[in-house]
Amino acid sequence: MALFNFLTQEIAIDLGTANTLIIHNDKVVVDQPSIVAIDRRTDKVIAVGTKAMQMHEKTHANIKTVRPLKDGVIADFRAAESMIREMIAMIYGDKKPFFPPRYKMVICIPSGITEVEKRAVKDSAEQAGGQDVKMIHEPMAAAIGIGIDVEEPNGNMIIDIGGGTTEIAVIALSGIVCDQSIRVAGDEFTLDIVDYMRRQHNMLIGERTAEKIKIHVGSALTDIDSPPDDYPVNGRDLMTGIPKQIIVSYSEIAHAIDKSISKIEEAILKALETTPPELAADIFKTGLYLTGGGALLRGLDKRIGQKTKLPVHVAEDPLRAVVRGTGIALKNMDRFTFLMDD
């Protein structure tokens, strides 16, 4: 029995639309983009994560890049399974274990996920070597990850803006009291930027360039205190077909993504409307907590604060809040068992 325990490894996985993170032995050992490159002729996976991302939108007819997750759920089952398997293998680097270990996993899932989508996550994890697979909802994992005591009878509102979904949840007594899950998040901002560049500047850019624009000059407000420098963007002129460069400012990008941010604001207000009055009183005191990659968007906390008239706190290292919480839940399995789904 002791041998089997030795062979069982515990891992926590944040299976995200944009990035996948894995915690093993209390350390984030994998932090890679959720993307797979596949050889069309043999259907074999040739690269996963950063390597596949470097190929994205630059491939020829024999290679395709696939993002297995869309809107926070698995869209391509086989690619997801290959990606999870390859990323688990990255834990060991070049030192491959002599016996293939069995994995006890905790994976986080969006709160608005259906039973069928949940099943797809579990099946993919089991195919990739998971023996005992538990699932925890993203807002709950984010709350644990930023140090909130979720067992207390106090209300806390978590807004987790990821790549595919924005999860908004009011948490108290180790449960989600009310939640909103909308499929508007980082990916939607990226598409807004691609669309804006095409309409406003007659310029065609790819997803990767739009992602870089979002990181360098992305903003939720047209007027912020310490504005970033204007950013040069290279793309193809739609009129002449010739590559060209233009300079964009943060206020332009704020206009481009304004509609999507408004949808997130509406969802926050909807969640606040459905919050029981006693928990609403707690939230008035504690404010709102922003986590996920979207929390890094300049001025977003200020904009949500202006809309809700509540204090907004951005978690430190918001990108890793969910996986940290998943890791804590894995370590304290007996304490947090009832938070998890089988």
Strand 156-161 to strand 166-172: parallel, antiparallel, or no bridges (unpaired)? Answer: antiparallel
Residues 224 and 87 in one domain: no
Question: Does an H or E element contain 211, and which?
Answer: helix 207-217
Provide the whole-model pTM: 0.91
- Taking alpha carbons only, the member of 98, 97, 106, 79 closest to residue 24 is 106
pLDDT at residue number 73: 85
Question: What span, in angstroms and rounded, lies between the C-alpha atoms of 274 and 325?
Answer: 25
* 146 found inside a domain: no
**Letter string b/e over residues 13-52, b meaning 16 or more CB atoms within 10 A of that residue's CB:** bbbbbbbbbbbbeeebbbbbbbbbbbeeeeeebebbbeeb
pLDDT at residue number 342: 66
* 296 found inside a domain: yes
* 291 found inside a domain: yes
> Across-strand partners of 340?
136
The tally of domains found in the chain comes to 3
Question: What span, in angstroms and rounded, lies between the C-alpha atoms of 203 and 160?
Answer: 32
Residues 164 and 295 in one domain: yes
Q: ∠ CA 213-214-216 to the nearest 5 degrees?
A: 65
Question: What span, in angstroms and rounded, lies between the C-alpha atoms of 95 and 262?
Answer: 48
Q: How would you write 269-334 as a 3-class SS string?
A: HHHHHCCCHHHHHHHHHHCEEEECHHHHCECHHHHHHHHHCCCEEECCCHHHHHHHHHHHHHHCHH
Residues 21 and 132 in one domain: yes
Residues 97 and 129 in one domain: yes
pLDDT at residue number 91: 85
pLDDT at residue number 228: 94
pLDDT at residue number 5: 54
**How far from the centroid of its chain's Cα atoms is residue 273's Cα?**
25
Query: Which residue, of 258, 273, 299, is where some domain finishes?
Result: 258
pLDDT at residue number 98: 64
Residues 203 and 230 in one domain: yes
Instruction: CATH number of the domain at 277, please.
Output: 3.30.420.40
Query: Which residue, of 258, 291, 306, is where some domain finishes?
Result: 258
**What tens digit of pLDDT does each residue of 35-89 get?**
999 999 998 999 999 999 999 999 999 999 999 998 888 888 889 889 998 898 8
Residues 128 and 250 in one domain: no
Distances (CA, A) of 223 to 176, 196, 232, 254, 294: 35, 19, 20, 9, 18
Eight-class DSSP state of 41: T
Residues 72 and 175 in one domain: no
Give pLDDT < 50 ranges for the chain. 1-4
* 149 found inside a domain: no
Instruction: CATH number of the domain at 201, please.
Output: 3.90.640.10
* 147 found inside a domain: no
Whole domain around residue 131: which residue ranges?
2-141+322-341
* 148 found inside a domain: no
Question: What span, in angstroms and rounded, lies between the C-alpha atoms of 124 and 103?
Answer: 13
Q: ∠ CA 340-27-70 to the nearest 5 degrees?
A: 55
* 292 found inside a domain: yes
pLDDT at residue number 4: 47
| Residue with the two structure tokens 């509406």 | 266
> Across-strand partners of 108?
14, 136
Residues 21 and 126 in one domain: yes
Residues 272 and 177 in one domain: yes
* 160 found inside a domain: yes
Residues 200 and 299 in one domain: no
Residues 197 and 135 in one domain: no
pLDDT at residue number 72: 82
pLDDT at residue number 93: 72
Residues 101 and 207 in one domain: no
